[in-house]
């Protein structure tokens, strides 16, 4: 008699297992913005941690220590974590939506003086800015349909038992939040000046050779919001990106990696 396969009990699902399921559900443009922030949380909490052991106070403690109002990426971090915890609740991996504990605490005003958070300019390539505008246009086209869906769901009876109504309202709230983030980013966005010669800069495509294997690689240097590993776009804040920034053909650089230093030779720099 063949034994039936064991069924995983929902309460035993770990953060690492849920993350593997979650990432493919994100749209490409959302994944390259949110993946790093969610991974940071999972690494902090422990990927082997059962989701059933999470508590609101632990989530709140993480947010207080890692998400600061002065961080220009704070809105994106908050959205990424709220979406993540909402997913865990929808999958019944957690009994509550811990996203309600994800919020940025504003600096306390002292001696009557107003505290003002100054947001720094956001350096981006022309392509990156165009992608943000395209996403914003798409959201603005979707919002009227989402608002109509709420009105249709509202007409279906008792709102306390109206799941489609509450789901539509929640979707609209997240979409509006994303729209606000995009508008904020576009207000701060500064187009990187095109380079015509010399060393690499933000927006440059750099061809390198890994010296220990002789294997060639081609990377486009972009801002953190534009990074996309699948398209070989790497952030200038990453170890490889920062090492390649400001370099010229013929130079050799060393990059610190978990396995040890990796050495590259710059073969070509193209300013797109």
Name beta bridge partners: 263: 254
| DSSP of 141-185 | HHHHHHHHHHHHHHTTS-GGG-HHHHHHHHHHHHHHHHHHHHHHH
Helix 74-90 and helix 56-66, axial crossing angle in degrees, nearest 10 = 160
Full pLDDT tens readout for the chain, 272 residues: 434 333 343 557 899 899 999 999 988 877 877 888 898 888 888 888 888 888 887 888 788 877 877 777 788 888 889 999 999 988 888 888 888 888 877 655 555 555 555 566 777 788 888 888 998 999 999 999 988 888 887 776 655 666 777 777 878 888 888 888 888 888 888 776 555 567 888 888 999 999 999 999 999 998 877 888 788 888 888 888 888 988 999 999 998 877 788 999 999 998 86
pTM for this one? 0.46
The two structure tokens encoding residue 229: 């590993």
* CATH architecture of the domain with residue range 10-101: Orthogonal Bundle (1.10)
Question: What are the residue boundaries of the structural domains of the chain, listed by start?
Answer: 10-101, 122-191, 204-271
The two structure tokens encoding residue 203: 């927006």
The two structure tokens encoding residue 47: 């990927």
CA distance 181 to 179: 5
Q: What share of the chain is helix, strand, coil (3-state, %, to 5)?
A: 50, 15, 35
Task: Give the model's pLDDT for residue 249.
Answer: 92
CA-to-CA separations, 89 to 35, 51, 129, 169, 198, in angstroms, rounded: 18, 10, 33, 17, 52
Domain boundaries 204-271, CATH class: alpha beta
On the question of a common fold for 122-191 and 204-271, the answer reads: no
CATH of domain 122-191: 1.10.287.180
Element housing 187 (H / E): helix 163-188
Contacts for 254 with CB less than 8 Å, ≥ 6 apart:
243, 261, 262, 263, 264
């Amino acid at each position: 008699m063949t034994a039936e396969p064991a069924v995983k009990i929902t309460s035993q699902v770990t953060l690492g297992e849920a993350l593997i399921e979650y990432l493919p559900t994100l749209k490409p443009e959302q994944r390259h913005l949110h993946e790093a922030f969610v991974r940071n949380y999972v690494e902090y909490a422990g990927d082997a941690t059962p989701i059933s052991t999470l508590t609101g106070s632990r989530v709140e403690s993480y947010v207080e220590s890692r998400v600061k109002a002065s961080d220009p990426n704070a809105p994106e971090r908050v959205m990424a974590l709220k979406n993540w915890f909402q997913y865990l609740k929808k999958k019944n991996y957690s009994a509550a939506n811990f996203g309600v504990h994800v919020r940025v605490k504003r600096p306390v005003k002292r001696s009557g003086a107003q505290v003002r958070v100054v947001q720094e300019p956001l350096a981006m390539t022309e392509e990156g800015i165009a992608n943000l505008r395209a996403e914003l246009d798409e959201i603005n086209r979707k919002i009227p349909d989402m608002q109509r869906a709420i009105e249709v769901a509202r007409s279906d009876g008792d709102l306390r038992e109206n799941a489609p109504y509450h789901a539509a309202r929640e979707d609209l709230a997240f979409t509006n939040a994303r729209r606000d983030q995009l508008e904020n980013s576009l207000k701060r966005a500064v187009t990187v000046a095109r380079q015509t010669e010399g060393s690499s800069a933000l927006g440059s495509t750099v061809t390198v050779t890994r010296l220990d294997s002789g294997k060639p690689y081609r990377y486009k240097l972009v801002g953190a919001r534009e990074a996309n590993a699948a398209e070989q776009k790497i952030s200038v804040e990453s170890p490889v990106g920062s090492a390649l920034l400001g370099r010229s053909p013929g130079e050799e650089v060393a990059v610190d990696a978990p396995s040890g230093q990796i050495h590259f030779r710059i073969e070509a720099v193209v300013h797109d």
